[in-house]
Amino acid sequence: MTTPGAGSTEDPDWKSLPLDDLTLTRKEGFAAFAEALDPQRPPDMTMAALQALSSEAKDEHNLARRAYLANLRPIKTAQADALVGDLADILEAGLDQPYWEAKGMAAVDAFPGLGKTTVGLSFAKRVHNDMIRQQGRFTAGGHERWPVIRVGMMGDTKVKDFNWAMLEYFAHAGRSSGTANSFLAQALDCAVACESRLLLVDDLHFLKFRSKNGAELANQFKTIANEFPVMILFIGYNLREKGLYEDPQLGRRITPLRLAPFTIENEASRRQWRNFLLTLEQRLVLARKYPGMLADDLSDHLYARCSGHIGSLMTLIKRACLRAVRTGEERFTLDLMTQVKLDQAADEQRARWEEMLASGKKTSKPKRTRRQRGGRSDTADPDGTATG
């Protein structure tokens, strides 16, 4: 019971195979990502309890906090939930259709730093786990079940390179040599035998569709949609400008989807921003954190630093946590936050947003509700959504 062409083993447990489980470019690595347990939260401690620890125990606690921080699971947002819902519609619409009919295709087109790859991988993770839970680790034919195939694009990817990458994902023995067509045929064998249902193509913006290689690969995507039993999910940015939809067939087959940044243009969007900060605040393991530390006292500063881009925000939060632990501050203050360096794009926007927020032209805070007036801050639900 093996992946076609990957060699055989008497042990039915696929996890015993000595294959790469560190990268998403191979199936074992993707499975390790998809099936990993949520990181264990270190215990919350008061400053007195923290100071009472021995040096060794404190080092162990800080290392546990660092590991937890590095592996924070994505926080649900309205934008991400809407995108996942759209992806589920497209995938499920094609699950039971005949193999010979063209499958759905979707393209998530969003600016860097908005979490498009994170959402795409989260969706792929759910597909992987749901299908294995519902249908088992192995197919009726005795092959390993691999619901998801992932391929990352490079700047000079050609048709043969792409087909080889699909074989590499499966650790197929025939990937060492062959033609573009032979690689494609073997990849099709793997996808059918392993009952793959989703092909995730990341970093599609590297491909120049108006070039010869780009045009050939665009045709290849149509072939895969026609012949493979998979929905194709593209992830990238400026895909329209790069010519993705100029091919008439792709223009008709691909559903364009977007992931918007947080905005503070109206009360509803400011409420979403606040809810996110409340949820994020609860995730932090700092001895001196307090309710409203992010959502009340640092809301404007955080928005000015990231301009609504979740990637920049999470980088800022993680680095600030590490600094707060290292310095013994154990909480976020404006002084500590201003010491934390961030990416170039965020810094370029910072001065403009700081001026607008300081002048009152903009605010990141919603109007205080009646319930908030009775206390310092509203709260977030355990599932990652906030109330208030």
Q: Considering the domain boundaries, does residue 303 fall inside one? A: yes
Band of residue 4 on the pLDDT scale cut at 50, 70, 90 = low
Q: Considering the domain boundaries, does residue 103 fall inside one? A: yes
Q: Which of 257, 281, 308 is the last residue of a domain?
A: 257
Using DSSP's 3-state secondary structure scheme, residue 254 falls into strand
Q: Which of 257, 287, 314 is the last residue of a domain?
A: 257
Q: Considering the domain boundaries, does residue 233 fall inside one? A: yes
- Give the per-residue pLDDT at 38: 84
Read off the pLDDT of residues 209-257 as tens digits, 9 standing for 90 and up.
Answer: 888 988 999 999 999 999 999 999 999 999 999 999 999 999 999 999 9
* Three-class HEC string of 163-211: HHHHHHHHCCHHHHCCCHHHHHHHHHHHHHHCCCCEEEEECHHHCCCCC
Tell whether 196 and 97 lie within a shared domain: yes
Return the sign of the alpha-carbon dihedral for residues 286, 290, 295, 296.
negative
Contact 271, 144 (CB under 8 A): no
Nearest-angstrom CA–CA distance, 67 and 36:
14
Tell whether 244 and 324 lie within a shared domain: no
Tell whether 144 and 290 lie within a shared domain: no
Tell whether 311 and 223 lie within a shared domain: no
What value, to the nearest 5°, has the Cα angle with vertex 27 and ends 104 and 36? 100
pLDDT at 36 over 70: yes
Six-digit token pair at 337?
A: 């936050």
Tell whether 232 and 312 lie within a shared domain: no
Tell whether 112 and 208 lie within a shared domain: yes
pLDDT at 10 over 70: no
Q: Considering the domain boundaries, does residue 277 fall inside one? A: yes
Q: Considering the domain boundaries, does residue 288 fall inside one? A: yes
Read off the pLDDT of residues 303-351 as tens digits, 9 standing for 90 and up.
Answer: 999 999 999 999 999 999 999 999 999 999 999 999 999 999 999 999 9
Q: Which domain holds residue 29?
A: 14-33+78-257
For 68-109, the DSSP string reads HHHTPPPPP-HHHHHHHHHHHHHHHHHTTS-TTSPPPEEEEE
Total domains present in the chain: 2
Nearest-angstrom CA–CA distance, 146 and 271:
40
- Give the per-residue pLDDT at 387: 31
Q: Considering the domain boundaries, does residue 118 fall inside one? A: yes
